[in-house]
Structure 1
Amino acid sequence: MEPLAGVQPVSHTRFAAIRASLEAFEPRPGWRAWVYEFLLFGFKQGWACLFGALLLALLLGTHLFYPAHPPLSRYDFLTLSALAIQIAMLALRLETLEEAKVILAFHMVGTVMELFKTAHGSWEYPEASLLRIGGVPLFSGFMYAAVGSYIARIWRIFDFRFSRYPKPAHTALLAVAIYVNFFAHHWLPDVRIALFAAIALLFARTRIWFRVWRRDRWMPLLLGWFLVALFIWFAENISTFSHAWIYPDQRHGWALVHPGKLGAWYLLMYISFVLVAAVHRPQQHAQAGRAFPTVA
């Protein structure tokens, strides 16, 4: 199959050559091609998760093996390590400068939320550190940045296109309302049910098209956000197990993060997506407005 019209080869990161080589491979038709596409999907997803995966490995590794009384606190080590990973990814051209700008925005937005939420007891960071603002160690912003890094990278790696994507002004207004509600619900009624309804109404017909290998695939964008939010919830359980942060009900021992947190992650996923969309600017798929083929 010929490349999708309008999609230019990606050549601005070191992953581009590897990607081109893998996509040029020709397995036999039939089940072998399906298996290869599935494996290629997993590889690309793993590559897009690189920053988040390294950060998660650091959280768990330092929880299990970090010295009991070190000269450098564990949280400060995590901050410096996350910063080193970010610099290395830029220096080695594993990440673009535009993606780094998105990650910086996530770091700032996330840190503001962390300061507010920890002050109101929503969660806490139980270990001491020097590199912190109030009760929030600086590595916490990198956890939000990991979400931004994933979305920015996956957008490029899978050549995202959309059909029936809403007007950017509408999506931005809803993102602001969601962000405000994260703060305001401590004093005012929590309107997240209305926000979920607004997301569903705005994106009910929106499809995200992506290319794993030779063919364009699609899924409802609402479903895509849920799947990512679910994986973030899994990562959150690993993070709280490693005492990166804890919720009030985990002070006397680890417990599974309440599944209700999935809703909060879904809303955060929406804000994250809109922030990345402001940089990448959603492109319309060639088949937008036509009858949709069977989901593959």
Structure 2
Amino acid sequence: MNDPTGATRFARIRAHLESVRVAAGPRAWAYEFLLFGFKQGWACLFGGLMLALLLATHLFYPAGAPLHRYDFLTLSAIAIQIAMLALRLESPREALVICAFHLIGTIMELFKTHAGSWVYPEASLLHIGPVPLFSGFMYAAVGSYIARVWRIFDFGFSRYPPAWTTVLLASAIYVNFFAHHWLPDVRIALFAAAILLFGRSWIWFTPWREPRRMPLLLGFFLVALFIWLAENIGTFANAWTYPSQRHGWEMVSLMKLGAWYLLMIISFVLVSLIHGIRRVDQIR
């Protein structure tokens, strides 16, 4: 297990909470559940703050403000990053992950907005083409969560496929996000490949004292589901809109859940290249 006395401020809080003595039985189960929720909330810190900003500015940002709302969101995201590093709420490695995801996400945004997949309806000065710079932080929030939750829960894996096969799958998924606009969409084949590669894989995580496990594919789905729910909040806040929402807000299509599932695999593989895979040889 990773040393809980690491560099971040959270590590000290984590060490204290994990040292609490609770009698076995329902109280211990309840404490472990609450500790699990606290750790998940901490891992979601950057994404949660960004989502709160989207909603708050949608509801309360002055219409005639001299600074565009999108630009305010961009500057706020940068300020959050600086504050988290300065207060040691985030490690430099996690900040590096955020920068990588911001770059990858912005490239995808430029292509997808040009293809008409979605639009940013408000004006901004801090933008590249039709894409406001805050949009890259939406992808960065996903990368931040995966990098943080990986460390916080001391991820381990059993029956994990060879790393080169996961990189190959992630690359194919990323290419398909672009290529399906001209070529046949092969996402069904990509789903099948994901099942073939990860179908026997388990992820081990430690909420408190005992390692727990779940199928890795189920873990991908649960995170993708929460991202889809967050996307509904983001579109409700008019941060971006899909063509189906042109005449008023409606729920994001469940088809997007599949897209997020595939994007989760890309995100997971990228973070695995930074953190490395800790293999658990025996299923306990």
Give the shorter-chain TM-score range: over 0.9
| Partner SS, residue 218 of structure 1 | strand
Q: Percent same amino acid among aligned pairs? A: 72
Query: Which letter maps to 2:60?
Result: F
* Equivalent residue runs for 1:93-242 within 5 Å: 93-242=88-237
* Structure 2 residue runs without a partner (length 5+): none
Question: Out of 277, 280, 284, which is 2:279 matched to?
Answer: 284
Deviation (angstroms), 1:29: 1.3
**Aligned pair 1:249/2:244, yes or no?**
yes
Deviation (angstroms), 1:9: 2.9
Q: How many residues align?
A: 284
Query: Which letter maps to 2:128?
Result: I
Q: Is the 8 A contact 2:167 2:269 kept in 1?
A: yes
Question: Out of 73, 77, 87, which is 1:78 matched to?
Answer: 73
TM-score, normalized by length of structure 1? 0.95
Deviation (angstroms), 1:8: 2.9
- 2 CA distance for matches of 1:228 and 1:205? 19
TM-score, normalized by length of structure 2? 0.99
**Aligned pair 1:267/2:262, yes or no?**
yes
Q: Is the 8 A contact 2:4 2:14 kept in 1?
A: no
- 2 CA distance for matches of 1:278 and 1:10? 24
* Structure 1 residue runs without a partner (length 5+): none
| Partner SS, residue 212 of structure 2 | strand
Query: Which letter maps to 1:250?
Result: Q
Give the equivalent residue in structure 1 for 2:33. Answer: 38
Q: CA RMSD in A?
A: 0.8
Q: Is the 8 A contact 2:8 2:89 kept in 1?
A: yes
| Partner SS, residue 26 of structure 1 | coil
Q: Runs of 4+ in structure 1 displaced over 2 angstroms?
A: 7-10
- 2 CA distance for matches of 1:171 and 1:249? 34
Deviation (angstroms), 1:10: 4.2
